[in-house]
Each structure stands twice: as structure tokens, then as C-alpha cells.
């Protein structure tokens, strides 16, 4: 970050490639919690059924372009507009370890850039940031049963991808995968076990995705 502003990466391209400078942004620590309320006729107020889900997050960035001439400004604006019309991960320079799944629906305003020198771009994002790098645990085992412990480092529920690869020359029958998610930070553990059976042929993989807390 410098006196002019700071940069960010979106859709695998950095803002500096388009001479874009971010002057400010709105990054709340938590998105809005989703309401789960029911209105009862002829009764005051609402029934709140609670819940622990969140709405999407909108991060609005105020942008400006570095340009010496009006022609250069318009050219940069068109290139930046094409770049910001896509979908991808939004990563800020001051938080390189956090990535937001984002999409821009509102087009970049060339008129505001020319007349005012800046414009605001809202990025509609998933509720929570992700790590740009997966935490991977790779094990080679022949014992049965076999247990692998995965400890998430984040603060919210996240996807867990399980891949089992048969590197042998014979098929393996009746593989049972048991997923047990435990909320470690609660006084009483909330366990959820799911059992599924598979046949893994030689050289094949099993890909399984689940949500763990």
C-alpha cells in the first residue's frame, strides 16, 4: 500500500496490469446473517426460528485509473471493464491469505472515471473468505481400518475433499468411508457420521466432497 492507494487480484490478474488503483473498500468482518422469521396473522411481531446461515457478501471498491491523457484513460477503462466482467477469486494485497469468490454484475462506468476520476465497483462474494491454498494431507496406507484426522484452520464451515487412489494392480472391494465431523470448540461435540461403500478399481480414484466444521 502506498499514498496513491493499493492493489488487488481478481480472476488471476492484478490491478496493476490495468493501471487500476483501489482507494477504499468496504470489508465487513462478517456478512449479514440470514433472517429466518415467520409472520403469524393477527399476532404482533414475528416468530424467529434462528439458524446459522449468512447472506452473500458485497465488497464495494472505489477505483481510479492511472492515465496521462483522456485517450489513455478510456483505453485503460475498457480493458479494466473486460477484466472486471468475469468471475473469480478476489484477493487484496493487504490480505494475501484470504480469497473471496466474487462476481461483478454492475458494469464499470467510463463516464464517472472521465468526469470524477473514480468509480465504485461492487463485488458480490460468497459469505466467507477462503484460503488460496488447500491444506493437504497425503497418506499411503494398507491397514484396515485406517483413520485420518483433519483439523481445519478456519473459523467457518468449509468443504473437505477426500480422494482415495488405488495404486495397486488389483481391485479393492467393499471400501467403507466414514466421515465424522466434530465441532472442537463447543463444550458438547456435535458428531455426524455418514457411511458409504465403494469399489475402487486399479488405477481409479474416489472423489468425495463434504462439509466439515
DSSP 140-173: ----SS--------SSS-EEEEEEEE--SSS-EE
Domain of 72, CATH number, reads 2.40.30.200
- For CA atoms 102, 106, 108, 109, give the dihedral sign: negative
CB atoms closer than 10 angstroms to residue 202: 11
- DSSP states of 57-90 as a string? EEEEEEEEE--SSHHHHHHHHHHHHHHHTSEEEE
96: pLDDT strictly greater than 70: yes
Q: What is the pTM of this model?
A: 0.64
Q: How much is the pLDDT for 113? A: 74
3 in a domain, yes or no?
A: no
Distance CA 196, CA 176 (A): 6
| Residue 63 structural domain | 8-125
Q: Are residues 109 and 170 in the same domain?
A: no
Q: Are residues 147 and 119 in the same domain?
A: no
115: pLDDT strictly greater than 60: yes
Looking up cell 473514480 gives 118
Q: Are residues 46 and 73 in the same domain?
A: yes
Pair 8, 61: CB distance under 8 Å: yes
Looking at residue 188, what DSSP letter applies?
S
Q: Are residues 19 and 116 in the same domain?
A: yes
DSSP SS3 for 31:
coil
- For CA atoms 65, 66, 69, 75, give the dihedral sign: negative
Domain count, the chain: 2
Q: Which of 14-28, 47-61, 64-78, 197-211 is the least confident region? A: 197-211
76 in a domain, yes or no?
A: yes
Amino acid at each position: 500500500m502506498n499514498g496513491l492507494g493499493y492493489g488487488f487480484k481478481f480472476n488471476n490478474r492484478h490491478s496493476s496490469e490495468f493501471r487500476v488503483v483501489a482507494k477504499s473498500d468496504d470489508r465487513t468482518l462478517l456478512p449479514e446473517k440470514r433472517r429466518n422469521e415467520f409472520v403469524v396473522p393477527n399476532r404482533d411481531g414475528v416468530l424467529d426460528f434462528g439458524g446459522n446461515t449468512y447472506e452473500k457478501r458485497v465488497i464495494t471498491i472505489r477505483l481510479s485509473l492511472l492515465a496521462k491523457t483522456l485517450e489513455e484513460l478510456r483505453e485503460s477503462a475498457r480493458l479494466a471493464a473486460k477484466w472486471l466482467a468475469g468471475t473469480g477469486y478476489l484477493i487484496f494485497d493487504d490480505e494475501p491469505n484470504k480469497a473471496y469468490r466474487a462476481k461483478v454484475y454492475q458494469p464499470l462506468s467510463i463516464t464517472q472515471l472521465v468526469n470524477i476520476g473514480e468509480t465504485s465497483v461492487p463485488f458480490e462474494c460468497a459469505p466467507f473468505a477462503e484460503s488460496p491454498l488447500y491444506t493437504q494431507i497425503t497418506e499411503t496406507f494398507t491397514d484396515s481400518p485406517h483413520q485420518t484426522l483433519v483439523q481445519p484452520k478456519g473459523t467457518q464451515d468449509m468443504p473437505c475433499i477426500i480422494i482415495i487412489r488405488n495404486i495397486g494392480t488389483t481391485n479393492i472391494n467393499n471400501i467403507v468411508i466414514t466421515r465424522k465431523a466434530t465441532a472442537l470448540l463447543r463444550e458438547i461435540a456435535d458428531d455426524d457420521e455418514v457411511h458409504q461403500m465403494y469399489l475402487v478399481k486399479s488405477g481409479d480414484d474416489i472423489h468425495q466432497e463434504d462439509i466439515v466444521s
